Amino acid sequence: MTIVERTQVFLLPDLGEGLSEAEIVEWRVAVGDVVTVDQSVVEVETAKAVVDVPCPYAGRVVTLHGAAGEVRPVGQPLITIAPLDGGDEPAGHTTYREEERAGSGNVLIGYGTGHGTATRRRRRPRLAVAPEPADADPAGAAAEAAPAASVDPARSSAALVISPIVRRLAREHGVDLDTVRGTGPGGVIRRADVEAALTAPAARLAAVPDPQVGSAPVGDGDVIVPLTGVRKVIADKLSRSRREIPEVTIWVDVDATGLLETRAAINAATPDAPVSILALLARICLSGLRRFPQLNSRVDTEAQRIVQSAGVHLGIAAQTDRGLLVPVLRDAQRLTTAELAAELAATTAAARAGSLPPARLTGGTFTLNNYGVFGVDGSTPIINHPEAALLGVGRIVDKPWVVDGQLAVRKVTQLSLTFDHRVCDGGVAGGFLRHVADCVERPALLIAAV
């Protein structure tokens, strides 16, 4: 049997629920390299995360199917591996584990096949980038960056780009990264640098697409942004939600002064484990869902039934450079308030960094959305399909408020609940929102309810 006949083709695996394709960011190997079982061979970007893909075969790389920047459908060839010359393969790496024999062996780094001693090809060094503050507004990043220069004669190496998001943004807008000066650590090009480069006349000219692309004429200065990646997933999911779910939004203004005072008292008592307002709101939501489990549901339209989830898989809406993501805290009802605060901070930071695995971005049963960070009071958000409800929180501002018959200045916010009218009627939804509002105004009620 020839080597060609014995080659094994590794197909792009299913990288998560609802994902049908992935973009090749960077190949970790080249044709002719020797790979071992579970070695990471390529970094790809899906609509939800950037992940390393390990190969379940050992041998020599024969073919790389696709170049960096190319989108590959799930199930299509990704890499072809042939046995080493003479049929000699690294000891212990010629067969799968039992899990692989039973299935495809297509697993991701972090969920690998367990060959902990396998040697891996050294990755090229990556620069360490200081994380941005968790409460920073990604939209404001461009304002903080220094204006990009056209060309830096002192630069003799290729453009330093770590983020695949930056590469994609530059590619979609026709920006030559070799002409952009990076303002990140060590000269790394950030998204803000690319956005600043777009203000240059040459960049704007390059960003204008061919008028023949698409059916509508392109006006002078118009920019066409392809609906791909995470933007496409968001569009599809929100459109499906609006089509299928008969949603209703109710809201109430609440005095959050007591909640802020409670948070200050907790943090003064436990300075090493501070809690955020979002963590306290999450705790209040969990209390409300225990009283009104109808809102922790989904509608199974095919079976014509409502499924109430046993656990609360709490989704947290997070704005990132890649768009709006909803990372999920599974079985959040099992966490203490301090654990909730720690998990929320770690999860939102990972979502903004793009390091969450796809599994962490699916399977939610209820979503908490703090749109107050954008400086707005209220909203009528679209439910995160297939969930049945979403609680929104507006900004907390000083407002006149009547307390014991006297006018006072208090910390006031607006809470809004958007719910699927198929899972409950107004009584349940109103009861939940009133419970949440009462706990915000009088946190002692939350203690009494737990």
Active-site annotation holds for 65: no
Computed on alpha carbons and rounded to an integer, the radius of gyration of the chain in Å comes to 26
Instruction: Write out the two tokens for 4.
Output: 């060609």
Choose the catalytic residue: 93, 115, 313, 421.
421
Instruction: State the Cα–Cα distance between residues 256 and 81, nearest whole angstrom.
Output: 61
Helix axes 426-441, 277-291, angle to 10 degrees: 140
What's the 3-state SS for the chain?
CCCCCCCEEEECCCCCCCCCEEEEEEECCCCCCEECCCEEEEEEECCCCEEEEEECCCEEEEEECCCCCCEEECCCEEEEEECCHHHCCCCCCCCCCHHHHHCCCCCCCCCCCCCCCCCCCCCCCCCCCCCCCCCCCHHHHHHHCCCCCCCCCCCCCCCCCCCHHHHHHHHHCCCCHHHCCCCCHHHCCCHHHHHHHCCCHHHHHHHCCCCCCCCCCCCCCCCCCCCCHHHHHHHHHHHHHHHHCCEEEEEEEEECHHHHHHHHHHHHHCCCCCCCHHHHHHHHHHHHHHHCHHHCEEEECCCCEEEECCCCCEEECEEECCEEECCEECCHHHCCHHHHHHHHHHHHHHHHHCCCCHHHHCCCCEEEECHHHHCCCCCCCCCCCCECEEEEECCCEEEEEEECCEEEEEEEEEEEEEEECCCCCHHHHHHHHHHHHHHHHCCHHHHHHC
340 CB-contact burial (10 Å; exposed 0-12 / middle 13-18 / buried 19+): buried
Q: Which residues are catalytic?
A: 421
